[in-house]
């Protein structure tokens, strides 16, 4: 994987799908997962289907509208990522599309590891029927994004925003002092 070519956040994004999971009351059965190689920032969207239109919609409304267009996108060879609709989307936005080797999920190892972490975290919150996992998805993502990653030496949140988040406990204990790790943009 050409991780040496990382130029900054969202220069290389990897996408994968989790599921099918137990269907929620809102009709969701899958999670579309996007992980940025540079910051380890993860986006995950509960969806009812894994078709190309759903993928493009999640990409536009959940990734591009928040973080801009990634330079490169890595995925497996799933039809939702290889269809004419998807190819047109990549071409229109100038995204260089990369595919992992067939039957070799290690190519997308970063997102595969995240998927395991995500499912484990969701299991701690869901009800017995496991039909409310989509309700907890945003909170679980926040916990992941604000957790220390040894490989990064920091949190995905800090890597993306250059500061630590204000956590609910900070507000509860009035621990709101600015604690910038670096006062210089160049150090970021």
CATH number of residue 40's parent domain: 3.30.420.10
Residue 81 — pLDDT band, cuts 50, 70, 90?
very high
Beta strands in the chain (DSSP E): 12-18, 30-36, 42-47, 72-75, 96-99
Lookup: tokens for 158: 């800090």
89 within domain boundaries:
yes
165 within domain boundaries:
no
Phi, psi (deg, nearest 5) at residue 43 = -120, 140
Phi, psi (deg, nearest 5) at residue 108 = -100, 35
Question: In the block, which residue shows the tokens 């599921």?
Answer: 19
28 within domain boundaries:
yes
**Alpha-carbon torsion 19, 21, 23, 25, what sign?**
negative
Beta strands in 57-156 (DSSP E): 72-75, 96-99
Q: Which residues pair with 42 in a beta bridge?
A: 35
152 within domain boundaries:
no
pTM summary value: 0.85
Residue 18 sits in which domain range? 3-145
Query: What is the model's pLDDT at position 12?
Result: 94
Q: Which residue has the higher pLDDT, 108 or 36?
A: 36
pLDDT in tens, 126-185: 777 688 999 999 999 999 999 999 988 999 999 999 999 988 877 777 766 655 565 555
pLDDT in tens, 19-77: 999 999 999 999 999 999 999 999 999 999 999 999 999 999 999 999 999 999 999 98
How many independent structural domains does the chain possess?
1
Give the angle subtended at the CA of 121 by the CAs of 119 and 127, to the nearest 5°: 85
Lookup: tokens for 133: 């996992």
168 within domain boundaries:
no
98 within domain boundaries:
yes
Query: What is the model's pLDDT at position 169?
Result: 79
How many CB atoms lie under 10 A from the CB of residue 9?
19
Distance (Å) of CA 21 to CA 7, 24, 31, 98, 118: 35, 9, 8, 27, 13
Residues above pLDDT 70, as percent of the chain:
86
Contact 119, 18 (CB under 8 A): yes
172 within domain boundaries:
no
155 within domain boundaries:
no
């Amino acid at each position: 994987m050409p991780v040496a070519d990382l130029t900054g956040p969202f220069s290389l994004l990897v996408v994968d799908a989790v599921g099918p999971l137990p269907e929620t009351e809102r009709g969701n059965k899958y999670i579309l997962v996007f992980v940025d190689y540079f910051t380890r920032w993860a986006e995950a969207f509960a969806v009812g289907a894994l078709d190309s239109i759903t993928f493009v919609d999640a990409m536009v409304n959940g990734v591009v509208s928040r973080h801009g267009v990634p330079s490169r996108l890595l995925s497996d060879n799933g039809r939702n990522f290889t269809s004419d609709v998807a190819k047109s989307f990549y071409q229109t936005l100038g995204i260089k599309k990369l595919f992992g080797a067939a039957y070799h999920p290690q190519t997308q190892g970063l997102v595969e590891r995240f998927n395991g972490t995500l499912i484990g975290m969701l299991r701690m919150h869901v009800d017995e029927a496991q039909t409310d996992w989509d309700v907890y998805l945003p909170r679980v993502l926040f916990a992941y994004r604000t957790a220390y990653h040894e490989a990064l030496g920091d949190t995905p949140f800090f890597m993306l925003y250059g500061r630590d988040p204000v956590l609910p406990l900070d507000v509860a204990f009035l621990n709101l002092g600015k604690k910038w790790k670096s006062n210089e943009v160049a150090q970021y």
